[in-house]
Structure 1
Amino acid sequence: MRPLIAAEVHKLRSTRLWWWLLLASMALTALYVTLLIGFSDDPDTLTAPLDTAAGQQTLFAVASGGANTLVAVVAAIGITGEFRHRTATATFLTTPQRRKVVAAKLATYATVGAGYAVVCLLVVAAIAWPWLSAKDIDLTLLGNGLPGTYAGVVADVTIFAVVGVGLGALLRNQVATVVGLLVYRFVAEPMLTAVPAISDWTAYLPGSASAALTQVSLSTQNYLDPWLGGLVLAAYGLLFAVVGTRVSMRRDIT
Structure 2
Amino acid sequence: MSRLVRGELIKILSTRTALAFAVTSVALTAANAMIVAVASGTLDEVGEKEEALSGMPILLLLLGAVGVAGEFRHRTAAPAALASGTSRERLLLARATAYAITGLVVGTLMVAVSLGAGLPLLGRQPGPDLGAGEVTGVALGLLGSSVLATVIGVAVGALLRNQILAAVGALILTFVLNPLFDRVREGSSDYTPLGAVAVLTRMVHGPTRISLAAAAIVLGVWTVGLMAAALAGERRRDLA
Considering the TM-score relative to the shorter chain, is it more than 0.5?
yes
Q: Counterparts of 1:29 and 1:149 in 2: how far apart (Å)?
A: 13
1:171 aligned onto 2:171: no
* Corresponding letter in the other structure for 1:54: G
> Aligned partners of 1:186, 1:103: CA distance in 2, in Å?
30
Which of 163, 185, 188 is the equivalent residue of 2:177?
Answer: 188
| Distance of 2:34 and 2:181 partners within structure 1 | 26
Q: For residues 138 and 127 of structure 1, what CA distance do their matches in structure 2 show?
A: 18
Counterpart in 1 of 2:81? 92
Partner Cα separation in structure 2 for residue 210 and residue 11 of structure 1: 27
Identify the residue that residue 70 of structure 1 maps to in structure 2: 59
Q: What is the CA-CA distance between 1:34 and the residue it aligns to? A: 2.3
> Normalising by structure 1, what TM-score?
0.84
Name the SS of the counterpart of 2:132 in structure 1.
Answer: coil
AA matched with 2:48: G
SS at match of 2:197: helix
Between the two proteins, the alignment pairs up a number of residues equal to 239
2: distance between equivalents of 1:169 and 1:253? 10
- Work out whether 1:213 is the aligned partner of 2:203: no
Moved more, 3-12 or 92-101: 92-101
Q: 1:14–1:203: structure 2 CA closer, same or farther, 3 Å change rule?
A: closer
- Alignment counterpart, residue 122 of structure 1, candidates 112, 126, 133: 112
- Structure 2 contact 37–49 (Cα < 8 Å) conserved: no
Preserved contact between residue 199 and residue 205 of structure 2 (Cα < 8 Å)? no
**Is the CA contact 1:159–1:234 (under 8 Å) kept in the aligned structure 2?**
yes
> Which residue number in structure 1 is paired with residue 48 of structure 2?
55
SS at match of 1:181: helix
Structure 2: 5+ residue stretches without partners: none
* Structure 1 residue 227 displacement after superposition: 0.6
Q: Is the 8 A contact 1:76 1:167 kept in 2?
A: yes
RMSD value, Cα? 2.3
Q: Secondary structure of the equivalent of 1:252?
A: coil
Note if contact 2:64-2:99 (Cα within 8 Å) is conserved in structure 1: yes
8 Å Cα contact 1:69/1:185 also seen in 2 = no
**For residue 68 of structure 2, what is the aligned residue in structure 1?**
79
Aligned 8 A contact 1:209 1:223 in 2:
no
Identity fraction in percent: 26
Structure 1, unpaired ranges of 5+:
43-48
Counterpart amino acid of residue 186 in structure 2: S
Look up the SS of the partner of 1:253 in the other structure: coil
The Cα of 1:249 is off from its aligned counterpart by 1.9
Moved more, 14-23 or 176-185: 176-185
Aligned counterpart, 2:142: 153
Provide Cα deviations, 1:108-134, integer angstroms capped at 9, x if missing partner: 111111112111111212222332344
Cα-to-partner distance string for 1:60-110 (whole Å, 9 max, x where unaligned): 2x21xx2x2211121122221221111112111123401111001111111
Residue aligned with 2:198, SS:
helix
What does the per-residue CA deviation read over 1:177-229, in whole Å, with 9 as the maximum and x for residues that have no partner? Answer: 12212232233323433x1x42263331223222333345535x721111111
CA contact (8 A) 2:34 2:121 kept: no
Q: In 2, Cα distance between the equivalents of 1:13 and 1:146?
A: 30
Residues 166, 244 of structure 1: 8 Å contact kept: yes
Distance 1:54 1:136 in 2: 13
Following superposition of structure 1 onto structure 2, how do residues 4-23 of structure 1 map, counting pairs within 5 Å? 4-23=4-23
- TM-score, reference length from structure 2: 0.89
Provide the C-alpha distance between the structure 1 equivalents of 2:51 and 2:133, rounded to a whole number of angstroms. 11
